Amino acid sequence: MSQAPLEQARKQTDVLPQPETIFVDPFGLISRLREHGISLVLDNVNEMSGMINSPTPGLGLSKGASNTGQYSMENVIDWGRLAGVTGLSTHAVVVGRYGIPVSPMFGDMLLTPSQEIYGSGGNVFVHLVYAYADETLFKDRLDIAAGRMSFLSDFSANPFYCNFMNNSFCGNPKAAGDNTAHASYPDANWALRFRIRPSATTIFQFGVYFTETRSIYTNTQMRTGFKFNGANIDGEAMPVEFTWAPRRGREHTLPGHYKFGFAYDTADHRDNYYDGNGNAFALTGLPAREVHGAWAAWALLDQMVYHHPEGAADAGISLLGVAYFNKPQTQTRSAQYSFGIFDRGFWKSRPSDAIGVDFAYSQISDDLTRSERLFAQQNLPIPNGAFFPQTSTYNLEAIYQIRVMRGITFSPDFQYYIHPGGQKQLKNQALIGFKSHIALF
């Protein structure tokens, strides 16, 4: 449930995004709008994947394929150009989503969905993702944003990730979304975020996001995204993140980003093992006790280690790495680690093509595993829909990204699951499919 590639294009020096599109300037409309500080971007992301192997027998699973996708429109207004209000811009995105990942067909049950662009769109034609205002001050040294904002669009995020399709990688490490206090694209909370740039290579940001942990992804409250009342606010999430962005190499052609972050929230969360009396709820049948507050910590990096001679600025080999940690008492994953490599521009005759491989390991909370084992020992259904107690899972993805023409990319995709859904009793599964991105204007 992550952000689309069009969101990546927004993060640039010019407040108005200008991605490569099929229609450059139809009827002169785009240029006229931009002259007045208005930008509109319309795109579609589609992800298809199918199983190569048969699933584990005897569990009612079946071999198959599925398709997911999203159409999206982004509007950015530079109020400095439009009305002379220096440094002020507004940002809004609406989407419509369709489909469901193939991974539940072989027992993953959406622990690490095979296709990230699914769900939380409310099954409506238009769903509001976010709408906020952004003010830059002191020659862009200080940036203040406020409105309806997605926590995970700003924190523990990296534009490299959504070149991939598996939700372990795109659009954040999947462990980041375990805590519903951390609103994930395409849903948002009321929020206030500050970003400070002490130097050309450092960024410090922090914020307050008013959480709606019990309703954030429900159709009752978030179906259209236009329900703005605060009746469901149940706490605050307070993230901080430091980014170091050096440019290495003799000619500074090797960009990198090193992010270190921590978040604490004040919402109540369900304990993974104990009931209100301090006993195992899997044995007593009582509700899980409420735990006040949860935390998360992360380290993310990308570093170009080789720049292809005479290539564009992004032409080179980059290494990717993630370490993400959750409070194991309340979250599904206690940790996630991933490592990847991404190479763009290695083929001189096709400088925009890219190839990438990413690998992720996810460790399920020991407390959650203990509870699931107790349910299994009593021959009771495991509450989260798993067939067996969950322990750990591994995901591998390989892509080849093809620039078909202006505004169109097509990426053949291979994935391999070891212990799908963290269940060692399930057969490993191989998937093959594709991811496409079409930017109209």
Give the pLDDT confidence of 348-361 residue by residue, as tens digits.
Answer: 999 999 999 999 99
Q: Residue 314, SS3?
A: coil
Output the DSSP codes for 65-80: EEEEEEEEEEEEEEHH
Strand partners, 409: 403, 437
Lowest mean pLDDT among 55-64, 115-124, 370-379, 428-437: 115-124
Mean pLDDT score, 401-413: 97
pLDDT of residue 221: 82
Q: Where along the chain do its domains lie?
A: 5-439
- The backbone torsions φ and ψ at residue 244, rounded to the nearest 5 degrees and listed phi first, read -110, 125
Mean pLDDT score, 16-25: 93
With a cut of 50, say whether residue 13 has pLDDT above it.
Answer: no
Is the Cβ–Cβ distance between 111 and 146 less than 8 Å? no
| Superfamily (CATH) of domain 5-439 | Carbohydrate-selective porin OprB (2.40.160.180)
Position 35 confidence tier, pLDDT thresholds 50, 70, 90: very high
Position 12 confidence tier, pLDDT thresholds 50, 70, 90: very low
Position 34 confidence tier, pLDDT thresholds 50, 70, 90: very high
pLDDT of residue 25: 92
Query: Tens of pLDDT along 110-124?
Result: 999 999 999 888 889
pLDDT of residue 57: 97
Query: Tens of pLDDT along 251-276?
Result: 899 999 999 999 999 999 999 999 99
Write down the H helix ranges in 310-426: 366-377
Q: How many CA atoms lie within 13 A of 125 on its CB side?
A: 0
Element at 282 (helix H, strand E) = helix 281-284
At residue 61's C-alpha, the angle toward residues 60 and 66, to 5°, is: 140
Structure tokens at 48: 């298809």
- For the entire predicted model, the pTM comes to 0.93
Structure tokens at 135: 């003010």
Residues whose CB is less than 8 angstroms from the CB of residue 317 and which lie 6 or more positions away in sequence, other chains included: 304, 305, 306, 341, 342, 343, 346
Output the DSSP codes for 3-64: --HHHHHHSSSSSS-----SSSSGGGHHHHHHHTTEEEEEEEEEEEEEESS---TTSS----
